[in-house]
Structure 1
Amino acid sequence: MKTNKLTSSLIIGALATIPYELLTTLFKLTGYTRYSVYELSSLMITLNRPNRLLGAILSMNLGAIIALILYFLVIGRFGWENIVFKSVFLNLQSWILLEVLFMWLIEGRNLIPFRSISDYYAQLTSAIFFGVILGLLFEKYLNPYGEDCPGRQKKTTPPGKGR
């Protein structure tokens, strides 16, 4: 069966935001941060009223766009080796860009109180987590090489344990 790589990458990107949200919600429940990622994303639309549903729609769209960039630009240009590292790197660049936009649009205009430094660390940690999840899902579901990816070390069978 032939799979549509474009659709698969979009779905993977959207679904990879769910563990991202769960981690930021855990940080919120422990008091380490003020907003989960869905709530923080919704502030770009509502400005000062966090809403998880709007944030989920926006975050899933952003996750799908990041996955699309990863698939077509990064993998298309640099290949499949070290896909998790490439995914984390791309996601950190996206996180920085989105934080700059958020600061400029929301916090810079004093629509919400300035966030503490722990909020930024929580979002940074969660962005890395999203990158790892995205890379692992790409590796599992989209990598055409499977275990035989160029650049990957072959698993060796111990002597006496032959096939």
Structure 2
Amino acid sequence: MFQDKVLLIGLLGVLSTIPGEIASRIFVYNGIGKYSIYELASLIITFNRPVFTIGLIVDFLVSGVFAILLYFIFKKLGSCHLVIKTAMGSLLAWLVCELLFTAIVEGKYIPIRPINDYYSHIFSTIIFGITLGLLMKKFIFKELNS
């Protein structure tokens, strides 16, 4: 279907954000979290106004680049246990993004978030990682399916 693997990987990264966003929206709706993933991503740009569409763009860019980086790492180091590796890689990326967000935005422009918000984002990040791993296994590293 796609001849350009890097473009396909970026698209898989973008598509993988959707289940994680749905999970974070469910958490917010039930009062467990304060911001969804896309709303939190928008705060890096808007500082104190969570906006879905800006967060969508920011999250799509970050997840696409993250998926491409993972692809090149897996191409060099191997792609066995792909789902576990992508889930752990996404948790590491969450940690880095959360540290940057906390240093730049939280406490200065918005109040400190409740601890439940962190847990909902960790869970949503794991969903993103599992989805990305499954999609990469199905469409990119097809030799693992045989």
Whether TM exceeds 0.5 here: the answer is yes
Find 1:127's aligned residue among 114, 125, 128.
125
Matched with 2:139 is: 141
**CA distance, structure 2, for counterparts of residue 62 and residue 11 of structure 1:** 12
- Cα deviation, 1:78-106, whole Å, max 9, x if unaligned, reads 21210001101111110000000000000
Matched with 1:160 is: none
- Find out whether 1:97 has 2:96 as its counterpart: yes
- Cα deviation, 1:110-149, whole Å, max 9, x if unaligned, reads x10100110000000110110000000001111141423x
Matched with 1:26 is: 26
Matched with 1:8 is: 8
Tell me the secondary structure at the aligned position of residue 32 of structure 1. coil
Normalising by the residue count of structure 2, what TM-score does the alignment of the two structures yield?
Answer: 0.96
**CA distance, structure 1, for counterparts of residue 142 and residue 94 of structure 2:** 28
Where relative contact order (Cα < 8 A, 6+ residues apart) is larger, the structure is 2
Larger radius of gyration: 1
Matched with 1:107 is: 106
* Residue ranges of structure 2 left out of the alignment (5+ in a row): none
* Residue ranges of structure 1 left out of the alignment (5+ in a row): 149-163
Matched with 2:42 is: 42
Question: What is the total number of aligned residue pairs between the two structures?
Answer: 146
**Cα distance, 1:2 vs structure 2:** 6.3
**CA distance, structure 1, for counterparts of residue 86 and residue 116 of structure 2:** 24
